[in-house]
């Protein structure tokens, strides 16, 4: 879209030189052909270093946008970002792409469906009911059990195992809300990247990123019935037990272990090599490594055990 068209769509004043905009992105990741936005005070510091061609902002932040960038000033930047996201969302299937490519030695069930542009590596086993979307890539020696769904543009590495009913790349739980309580969908134009030697249990959902990618790093093990929110990053060799949930944009360091029904709030960072007991609720960033935590809100496991002991004595 032309920048002038974007300005008209979101109701922003525009009087600069026009140019073609190819996509949307975050302030830190955007290039000179992309548009970004700022709707939260904690990201204002990223405006000055952003390479975005234009930034959707409000009156209070427009002066932070440098003169070589275009400030698209609106009353509700987050809402207008959601409006614009629909225009940059790709088609559900890319019918113009060539037929799917299947690597040597791979077995693909006649009841599986591979969209145009999909690529299946060598020696894979793609079972009945599997759907692999447009331009999605599956590496060598990977097994997709029945009814696994890989949405378009997502990437699954080599030597992975994904069990029945798991969905990779659905839209995250993202929307903008206005003063009247009406919700506007944010279209997620990123993807999911699953690295090599990852095993994912059945009926797990891993959401695609709003922009860029949701990452499941190599060697990770995810159980059944897990929810991974958009833009999360799960570090190498991490282990997550059943019914756990990670809210969007949380970054989990290498070799963390999460017990069943544990949860992580959004936009947190967790240092490597920590352990979380079942039902632990992580509400703050953790910078230390080698710790064991429990409880909600979370605390060190030893402290939690002492509290549970004292509570038990109170009711005797």
Which residues are designated catalytic?
230
**Which residue, 39, 43, 23, 26, is CA-closest to 78?**
39
Given a contact cutoff of 8 angstroms between Cβ atoms, the answer to whether 219 and 201 are in contact is: no
Residue 225's beta-bridge partner residues? none
Report the DSSP pairing between strands 175-177 and 183-185: antiparallel
Task: Please give the torsion angle defined by the CA atoms of residues 234, 152, 126 and 162, in that order, rounded to the nearest 10 degrees.
Answer: 20
- 178: tokens are 């206005």
Identify the residue whose tokens are 């352990």: 275
d(CA 19, CA 98): 31
- Backbone φ and ψ for 35, nearest 5 degrees, come out as -110, 145
Strand order of the sheet with strand 70-73?
A: 23-24, 34-37, 54-57, 70-73
């Amino acid at each position: 879209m032309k920048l002038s068209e974007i300005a008209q769509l979101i109701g922003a004043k525009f009087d600069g030189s026009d140019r073609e905009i190819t996509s949307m992105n975050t302030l830190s990741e955007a290039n000179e052909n992309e548009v970004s936005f700022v709707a939260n005070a904690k990201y204002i510091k990223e405006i000055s270093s952003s390479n975005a061609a234009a930034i959707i902002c409000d009156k209070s932040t427009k002066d932070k946008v440098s003169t070589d960038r275009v400030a698209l000033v609106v009353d509700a930047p987050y809402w207008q970002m959601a409006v614009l996201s629909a225009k940059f969302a790709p088609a559900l299937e890319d019918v113009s792409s060539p037929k799917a490519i299947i690597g040597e030695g791979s077995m693909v069930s006649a009841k599986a469906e591979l969209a145009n542009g999909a690529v299946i590596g060598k020696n894979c086993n793609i079972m009945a009911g599997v759907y692999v979307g447009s331009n999605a890539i599956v590496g060598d020696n990977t097994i997709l059990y029945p009814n696994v769904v890989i949405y378009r543009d997502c990437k699954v590495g080599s030597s992975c195992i994904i069990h029945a009913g798991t969905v990779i790349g659905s839209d995250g739980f993202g929307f903008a809300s206005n003063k009247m309580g009406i919700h506007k969908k944010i279209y997620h134009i990123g993807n999911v990247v699953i690295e090599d030697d990852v095993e994912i249990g059945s009926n797990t959902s891993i959401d695609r990123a709003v922009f860029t990618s949701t990452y499941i790093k190599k060697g990770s093990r995810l159980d059944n019935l897990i929810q991974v929110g958009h833009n999360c990053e799960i570090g190498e060799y991490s282990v997550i037990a059943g019914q756990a949930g990670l809210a969007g944009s949380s970054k989990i360091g290498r070799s963390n272990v999460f017990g069943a029904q544990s949860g992580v709030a959004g936009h947190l960072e967790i240092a490597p090599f920590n352990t979380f007991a079942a039902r632990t609720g992580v509400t703050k960033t953790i910078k230390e490594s080698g710790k064991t935590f429990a409880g909600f809100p979370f605390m060190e496991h030893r402290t939690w055990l002492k509290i549970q002991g004292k509570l038990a004595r109170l009711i005797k």
